[in-house]
Amino acid sequence: MAHEVCNDINEWITENVWQPVESWVGRYVEKCQEQDCDWWCACCNKWFCWLAWVVEKVIEWVLVPITKLVVHTVCEIVADVIDLIVNVFVGLWDIVVGIFTWDWARVWDGLVQLVGGVITFVVDIFRIATFGDAIGFLSDWVSQERLRSYVRDKLKEKYRGDELQAIKDALGVDYGEFGFRIATRAIRTFVRSDFRLPGSDVPELIRWHENAGLRLNLKELCGYDYEEFWRRFRPEVVGDNGDVSESDVDDYINSRGASGPTFSIFCMDEGTLGTKISTASEKARALGLLFRWRKETIQVTRPEHVRQKGFDQNGVTALVGFLNTVIGRRLKSVDPAGATADLCNVPTVGVFRYTDKLNGLTVNLQQGACDGLTPNDDSGLTFMDRLPDIVWKYVQVHEMGHYFGLCHVDGVNRIMFTAAADENKSAWDWWLIPDYLYLHGGPVFVFEEATQVWDYIIANFTADCLRTRAK
Ligand SMILES: [Zn+2]
């Protein structure tokens, strides 16, 4: 979590310190080059131009990357120490509380957090001390500059004049922090204990609980129990009047909703969502995407929206319908301009479960970068929580990759990797060890994927969207 702040600090410095300096020097050089030579002093006015040009290049290729690297390194070390302290204390707390309450799942999670936290710290400090982190950072910076010029050329093919300039300014193509500041919604779906269908005196939660075919056991939805140990998740039960205990929920179930507290169950708690969205923000920078999040909650009232349909039950069609009716995405078949405008706001919807082994699902509006990613009637994605974070916190940003047209790839060092058996992707890739452990300390998006994302954006997003910076 703390690591995201490092990116924010660097973004702030770029926008508020380097951007004004670079654009001032850039304008001076431009004006200078248009000047005629003063012959009386052997073109002395032009010497300054040459000097200014050198200064411009030194700022761009030396000062900016070096200050960024220094800020990044210092900030990463501080963030690593903070993360270590948090992981050790939270892990120990869970182990102790778990032992005293005989909650072995909690002891296991505490142990994973404690050991995982220490290993992550040691690996990160090793990476920083042996310059792996610095090399990774500088190679990312070079990729970013390449992406910037790729996007500049690509925009020129489609746009002209003032429109082109407005888009380039909004994206920071020439000066400042480059990236598409795009509005993203982090939605947590929730269910209510007092929701009944008209004419029914039993709450829907109870009816679902009693219908074994739906696999919506209320104790599992609340997180007191689990269907499968390796697919546990972290829902949050929030009472209307204070805390809700497991026996309160038993009371609610046994009385069929007649007694017990009224409460909401969220598909994941806020901290869990926070970890995922800061991971997404950090990783998507390599794609030139700067997410501007808005957190929301949305109530779901149908069993198929709690346990979402997977590939076993025509999940793609079901997701198109869900995004349209519950999330408000417009259908291309009904309102093509509306569906295209909707692209400008990415809905990422946290859900409880799927009917099959899915962890997340996306529908992309237009043809993606591979044959498998065919266009759909609307756009958006769902994802679920799963432990442990070290593996599963990347699901949301993986789905966001699909939203921008990205396909599955080989290698666990890549965010777009999938272990799904029918996809036949190999976990091994020769870059795995150096890239994952040494340069980046986790899975990444690569330059080629960034160009695919921008091909998709420039081809399909509206000019209005491109020239607006989401706040
Ligand atoms: Zn996928």
Contact 87, 110 (CB under 8 A): no
* Residue 152 structure tokens: 């500049």
**pLDDT score recorded for residue 39:** 75
Neighbouring C-beta atoms of residue 19, cutoff 10 Å: 16
Q: Which residues contact 455 (CB under 8 A, 6 or more apart)?
A: 154, 369, 405
Ligand 1 centroid–CA 394 distance in Å is: 11
Distance 325 CA to ligand 1 centre (A): 24
Q: What is the per-residue pLDDT for 186?
A: 98
- Check residue 45 and give its pLDDT: 76
Task: Look at residue 423 and tell me whether its pLDDT is greater than 80.
Answer: no
pLDDT score, position 78? 94
Residue 202 CA to ligand 1 centre (angstroms): 38
| Of 50-54, 113-117, 259-263, 309-313, minimum mean pLDDT range | 50-54
- Give residue 423 CA to ligand 1 midpoint distance, Å: 9
Cis peptide before 388 (omega within 30 of 0): yes
Contact in structure between 282 and 11 (CB atoms under 8 Å): no
Ligand 1 centroid–CA 418 distance in Å is 6
Average per-residue pLDDT for the chain: 93
pLDDT for the residue numbered 26: 86
Mean pLDDT of 166-171: 97
H/E element, 299? strand 289-299
Q: How far, in Å, from the CA of 399 to the mean position of ligand 1?
A: 6
Average pLDDT of 328-352? 98
Reduced to 3 states (helix: H, G, I; strand: E, B; else coil), residue 300 is coil
In angstroms, rounded to a whole number, what is the distance separating the alpha carbons of residues 97 and 310? 36
Q: Pinpoint the alpha helices (H) of 255-302.
A: 270-284
- 421 CA to middle of ligand 1, Å? 12
SS3 263: strand
Average pLDDT (211-221) is 96
What is the per-residue pLDDT across 239-259, written as a single tens digit (0 to 9) for each?
999 999 999 999 999 999 999
Residue located via tokens 């190999």: 426
Q: What is the dihedral of CA 149, 153, 154, 159, to 10 degrees?
A: 130
The end-to-end CA distance of the chain, in Å, is: 21
Mean local confidence (pLDDT), 428-438: 73
| pLDDT classification of 420: cutoffs 50, 70, 90 | confident
Query: What's residue 427's pLDDT?
Result: 67
Cα 179 to averaged position of ligand 1 atoms, centre (Å): 23
Average pLDDT (257-286) is: 95
The arithmetic mean of pLDDT across residues 94-102, rounded, is: 95
Mean pLDDT of 435-463: 92
Statement: residue 314 has pLDDT above 70: yes
Given this model, what pLDDT does residue 1 score?
55
Under 8 Å CB-to-CB from 183, ≥6 apart: which residues? 292, 294, 344, 345, 346, 470
How many Å lie between the centroid of ligand 1 and the Cα of residue 274? 21
322 CA to centre of ligand 1 in angstroms: 19
pLDDT of 460 > 70? The answer is yes
Predicted confidence at residue 390, as pLDDT, reads: 85
For residue 339 the two structure tokens come to 């569906």
Distances (CA, A) of 460 to 146, 343, 345: 22, 8, 13
The DSSP bridge pattern shows strands 263-266 and 236-239 to be antiparallel
Q: How far is the CA of 462 from the centre of ligand 1 (A)?
A: 25
The CA–CA distances, whole Å, from 160 to 147, 156, 341 equal 20, 7, 21
Span from the CA of 368 to the centroid of ligand 1 (angstroms): 12
Ligand 1: centre distance to CA 121 (Å): 29
Centroid of ligand 1 to alpha carbon of 438 (angstroms): 25
Q: What are phi and psi of 185, to 5 degrees?
A: -105, 125
Q: Return d(Cα 420, Cα 330) in angstroms, integer.
A: 30
Rounded to the nearest whole angstrom, what is the distance from the C-alpha of residue 140 to the centroid of ligand 1? 24
CA of 359 to the centre of ligand 1 (A): 9
Ligand 1 center from residue 403 Cα (angstroms): 10
Q: Write down the pLDDT at residue 433.
A: 74
Average pLDDT over residues 290-319: 97
What's the 417 CA to ligand 1 centre distance in angstroms? Answer: 7
CB count, 10 Å around CB of 405? 24
- Going from the Cα of 90 to the center of ligand 1, the distance in angstroms, rounded, reads 31
Å from CA of 313 to ligand 1 middle: 17
Instruction: Give which of 390, 351, 444 is closest to 144, Cα–Cα.
Output: 444
How many A from CA of 409 to the centre of ligand 1?
9
Q: Cα of 75 to ligand 1 centre, how many Å?
A: 32
Report the C-alpha gap between 94 and 66 in whole angstroms: 41
Q: How far is CA 36 from the centre of its chain?
A: 51
Residue 144: Cβ within 10 Å count: 18
What's the 364 CA to ligand 1 centre distance in angstroms? 12
- Alpha-helical (H) ranges within 172-217 are 204-210
Distance between Cα 392 and ligand 1 center (Å): 12
- CA angle 267/272/278 to nearest 5° reads 125
Query: How far is 72 from 253, CA to CA, in rounded Å?
Result: 52
Q: How far is the CA of 24 from the centre of ligand 1 (A)?
A: 44
CA of 470 to the centre of ligand 1 (A): 26
- The alpha carbon of 456 and the centre of ligand 1 are apart by a number of angstroms equal to 17
Residue 372 pLDDT exceeds 90? no
Q: What is the pTM of this model?
A: 0.92
Strands 180-192 and 263-266, bridge-based pairing: antiparallel
Q: What is the pLDDT of residue 43?
A: 77
From the CA of 110, how far away is ligand 1's center (Å)? Answer: 29
Selected residue with higher pLDDT from 65 and 152: 152
CA distance linking residue 383 with residue 396, whole number of Å: 6
DSSP letters along 338-406, please? HHHHHTTEEEEEEESEESSS-SEEEE-SS--SSTTS---SS-EEEEE--S-HHHHTTHHHHHHHHHTT-
Predicted confidence band of residue 431 (pLDDT cuts 50, 70, 90) = low
Tokens of 264: 């909401």
Q: What is the mean pLDDT of residues 17-26?
A: 88
Q: What is the mean pLDDT of residues 305-333?
A: 97
Is residue 244 exposed (0-12), middle (13-18) or buried (19+ Cβ within 10 Å)?
buried
Distance 155 CA to ligand 1 centre (A): 28
Q: Please give the pLDDT value at position 144.
A: 94
Compute, in angstroms, the gap from residue 50 CA to the centroid of ligand 1: 51
pLDDT at 50: 83
With bands split at pLDDT 50, 70 and 90, how would you rate the model's confidence at 429?
A: low
Which pLDDT does position 304 carry in this prediction? 97
C-alpha 446 to ligand 1 mean position (Å): 16
State how far the Cα of 369 lies from the Cα of 409, in Å rounded to an integer. 12
